[in-house]
Chain A
C-alpha cells in the first residue's frame, strides 16, 4: 500500500494537502471503475484486486491526519476554515461511498444478462470516470481559479444529467428481464447501478458546493 513520507507531508500547505488527498481518492475511484469494467469482461481476478485495493487503501488517512493538525493549529484565514474542512469531508465521502460499493460488489461474482447491458453499463462507467476526473480538476483549481472550477462543475452537472437518463434506462431494462427478483443476480445488479448513481450524485452535489464557494468568495465589479 502507498505510504507518504511524514516529513514531506509536514511541509505541504493546507491547499497542497487537499490536492494530494483528492489525487489519492480519485485514484481509488478510478480503480473502482476499472474493477467494475473487469467484472463486465468477467476478469474476476483483476476485479477482486482492484476492489481490494480500494477497500484496503489507507494512505489517505495519513494525509487527513496531517491536514487536520495543520488546519486546527492555523491562525490564518479563519474565515475559510469551515469551507476548507467541508471540502475535505466531501472528498472523504467519495472514498466512503466508493469503499461501500466495493464491499458490496465483492459479495458475489455476477454474470451479466446480455451484451447490451454490458455496453450500456460501460457508457455509464465512462461518464462516472469523466466526472470523477473533473471533480478532481475542480478541487485543484479552487486555490487558483474559482471561475474555471465553477465552469468545470457546470460540465459535471451536465454530464450527470445525461448519465441519469442512461441509468434509468438500464434500470428499466433490468426490471424487464425475465428474472427472479429475489435472485442474487438481480439484487447485485440493482445494487451496482444504485451504488454508481449514489456515487455520481455525491460528486454532483460536491460540484454544486464548489460552485457555491465561487459565488461566496469571488467579488465581481
Chain B
C-alpha cells in the first residue's frame, strides 16, 4: 500500500482517537451528583471535572494505554493500521447501535472485544500464528477477570464504607436541621471525591490512548507525537465534558436532587478507589459504568433498600454480549480489509 494512503489512514486514526476522547468526556456523568448537590456553580463543576479528566488522561494513563496498545499482544505481534481502524470503527459502531436502542454499553469491553476479534483474524489469515499465542494470555486473562472483580469490589467497598460512615456519623443525627448541616459538609467532601474519581476515569480511559500507544509501538508515530496527541486527547476530553457532557450531567442531576450528598460521596469515593487500584497497580482497563452500577447496588444493600435484580439481569446480558459482538464486528471488518489486500 502506498505511503500516501498509509499517512491518510494514520491521520484518520488520530482524528478518530481524538474524537473518541471527546465522546469520553461527552458521556461522562461522574460530576452529576455534584451538580445535584448544588454546592458550586454548574459551569465550575464542568470545568473542574474536565480538568480532572484531562489530568488523568495526560499524566496517569500510560500504564493502561501501554497494556491495550502493546502488552496485551503475544510475542512478535504488532497492530497494523488497518487492525486499529477496524477496532475503532467496530467499537464506535457497537456503542452507537447501543445508544440508539437505549442500551448502556461499556466502551472498555467494546474496545477489548474488538481487539480480540482483529487479532484472531490476523493470527489466522495474515500472521499464520497460533491464535492462543497471539495474545499475552496472562494480561488478557487479567483484563477479563478484572471486569468481574472490579464491580464486585465496588459493591463491597461501598457497602463497608457506608456501614462505617453510618456508624460513625450518620446514625448520630437526630433532626432534619442536623442532617442538613451534616450533608452540606458532605457536599464539599463530594466535590473532592468527584474530582478524585474524574482523575481516575481519565487515567483508566484506554480507548483513545490505547490506539495511540499502539501506533507509537509499531512505529507509525514518534514518542513525541504520542505525547502531543495524549495532551490533545486530554484537552478534547475536557471540551467533550464542557460542551456536550453538560446535557447528560444536567439530565442526570435533575433526577438526583433527592439524593443525599453523603450517598454520592461514598459511591464516588468507592468507584475512584477501584479505578485507582486498577490503573496504578494492575494497569487494566475496567468499565467505570459497571463499577458505578455495583457501587449503587452496594449502597442499596447497605441501606436495606430494594435492588432491581431483573433490570440488573438485563444489563448483565448486554455486558456479556458486548465482548463477543464487538469481536465479531471488528473481525469481519478486518477480514474485509484483508480481502482487499489491506493488512
Q: Which A residues fall within an 8 A CB radius of B? A: 15, 75-82, 141-147, 213, 217-221
Given A78-B257, A219-B173, 14 further pairs, Cβ under 8 A: A15-B177, A75-B38, A76-B180, A76-B184, A77-B180, A77-B183, A79-B257, A79-B261, A80-B179, A144-B175, A147-B174, A219-B303, A220-B171, A221-B167
Interface hub of B176, B257, B259 (most chain A Cβ within 10 A): B176
A221–B175 touching, CB < 8 Å: no
Complex: how many Å from CA A145 to CA B173?
Answer: 9
B167–A79 touching, CB < 8 Å: no
Cβ–Cβ < 8 Å partners of A82 in chain B: 257-258
Complex: how many Å from CA A144 to CA B177?
Answer: 6
A213–B176 touching, CB < 8 Å: yes
Q: Considering the complex of A and B, which 3 residue pairs feature the smallest CB-CB distances, nearest first? A: A144-B175, A77-B180, A143-B177
- Number of B interface residues in the complex (CB < 8 A): 23
Q: B37 at interface (Cβ–Cβ under 8 A)?
A: yes
B184–A145 touching, CB < 8 Å: no
CB within 8 Å for A144 and B174 given contacts A77-B180, A78-B37, A78-B38: yes
B258–A77 touching, CB < 8 Å: no
CB within 8 Å for A79 and B175 given contacts A219-B166, A219-B170, A221-B167: no
Q: Which B residues fall within an 8 A CB radius of A? A: 36-38, 166-167, 170-171, 173-180, 183-184, 257-261, 303
Complex: how many Å from CA A81 to CA B173?
Answer: 18
CB distance from A179 to the nearest CB of B (A): 50
CB within 8 Å for A142 and B171 given contacts A77-B180, A79-B183: no
Would you give 8 A-B contacts (Cβ < 8 Å), ordered by A?
A: A75-B38, A76-B180, A77-B180, A80-B180, A146-B176, A218-B174, A219-B170, A221-B167
CB within 8 Å for A145 and B171 given contacts A77-B180, A217-B179: no
Cβ 8 A contact of B176, one of A143, A147, A219: A143
Complex: how many Å from CA A77 to CA B175?
Answer: 14
B175–A142 touching, CB < 8 Å: yes
Cβ–Cβ < 8 Å partners of A221 in chain B: 166-167, 171
Cβ–Cβ < 8 Å partners of B180 in chain A: 76-77, 80
Complex: how many Å from CA A29 to CA B304?
Answer: 40
Cβ–Cβ < 8 Å partners of A218 in chain B: 173-174
CB distance from B303 to the nearest CB of A (A): 8
Cβ–Cβ < 8 Å partners of A220 in chain B: 171
Cβ–Cβ < 8 Å partners of B173 in chain A: 218-219
CB distance from A175 to the nearest CB of B (A): 45
Cβ–Cβ < 8 Å partners of B183 in chain A: 77, 79
CB distance from B305 to the nearest CB of A (A): 11
Cβ 8 A contact of A145, one of B37, B174, B257, B260: B174
Complex: how many Å from CA A15 to CA B176?
Answer: 9
